[in-house]
Amino acid sequence: MGCAMCKYDGGPDVTRFAALKTKHEELQHRITLFEEFFHLLSMRSEAESVEIIGRMRIANIETDLEDLVKFIKNADLLVQMASAQSDQTPPASGEPSVDTQLPIVPLDYVSLLLELLKPAVSKLDASAQTALLDMIRHVLDAFASREGSRSGFAETVKPDGEAHDTERHTQR
């Protein structure tokens, strides 16, 4: 038997060692993503795991694994934010309202989170998109009302994705 010649992805000016190193780094990154994915999957209920695996089957796992992991992590963050709000007990008279007790999340962070979610959300079916967007809207409304009550201004996000300041008018 003779030796087979191995070919590696790389330009003509890339050495065999450099191509091997690049391929090794890519594979290590994928292994890390799979480990993280399986860890996230193992922390879910059976129903959630089945739903995630269903999404994985319609996605191209070769190119979308990183997006899937980001989607799961970002969804966890949104659920934590929503549950933090719902876990608050109603304030006694004279105490601050629940909205002022929510953790402070900078608007830039929320915008970044939405940008990260775009690729994953676009792969969801219509009902799943609606459910996720309703949950996001609820959290953002709570955030906006809390911020607006502090300053008298509310920052709203319009469909074009840009934030706009609008003065809150209150009746006295």
| pLDDT tier, 32 (very low <50, low <70, confident <90, very high otherwise) | very high
Give, for 26, the enclosing helix (H) or strand (E).
helix 16-42
Task: Identify whether 9 is part of a domain.
Answer: no
Closest CA to 162 of 125, 111, 120: 111
Q: What does the pLDDT read at residue 35?
A: 93
CB-count exposure of residue 165 (10 Å: 0-12, 13-18, 19+): exposed
Let me know the angle formed at the C-alpha of 110 by 107 and 53, rounded to the nearest 5 degrees. 175
User: How far is residue 80's CA from residue 145's CA, in Å, rounded to a whole number?
Assistant: 19
Whether this model's pTM surpasses 0.85? no
User: How far is residue 84's CA from residue 86's CA, in Å, rounded to a whole number?
Assistant: 6
Task: Identify whether 112 is part of a domain.
Answer: yes
Task: Identify whether 54 is part of a domain.
Answer: yes
Report how many domains make up the chain. Answer: 1
Task: Identify whether 45 is part of a domain.
Answer: yes
Task: Identify whether 2 is part of a domain.
Answer: no
Q: What is the mean pLDDT of residues 80-90?
A: 62
Determine the length of the chain: 172
Least confident span in 89-98, 130-139, 145-154? 89-98
Task: Identify whether 151 is part of a domain.
Answer: yes
| pLDDT tier, 125 (very low <50, low <70, confident <90, very high otherwise) | confident
Q: Please, what is the average pLDDT of the chain?
A: 70
pLDDT at 25 over 80: yes
Q: What does the pLDDT read at residue 28?
A: 96
Winning range, highest mean pLDDT, from 73-77, 84-88, 162-166: 73-77
Q: What does the pLDDT read at residue 7?
A: 61
Task: Identify whether 94 is part of a domain.
Answer: no
Secondary structure percentages of the chain, helix, strand, coil, to 5: 65, 5, 30
pLDDT top residue among 144 and 96: 144
| Non-local CB neighbours of 100 within 8 Å, separated by 6+ positions | 146, 149, 150
Measured torsion, CA atoms of residues 155, 157, 161, 164, in degrees rounded to the nearest 10:
-40
Least confident span in 20-34, 76-90, 154-168? 154-168
pLDDT top residue among 58 and 101: 58
Domain range for 39 is 16-88+99-167
Task: Identify whether 61 is part of a domain.
Answer: yes
Winning range, highest mean pLDDT, from 49-63, 72-86, 152-166: 49-63
Closest CA to 156 of 171, 138, 141, 172: 141
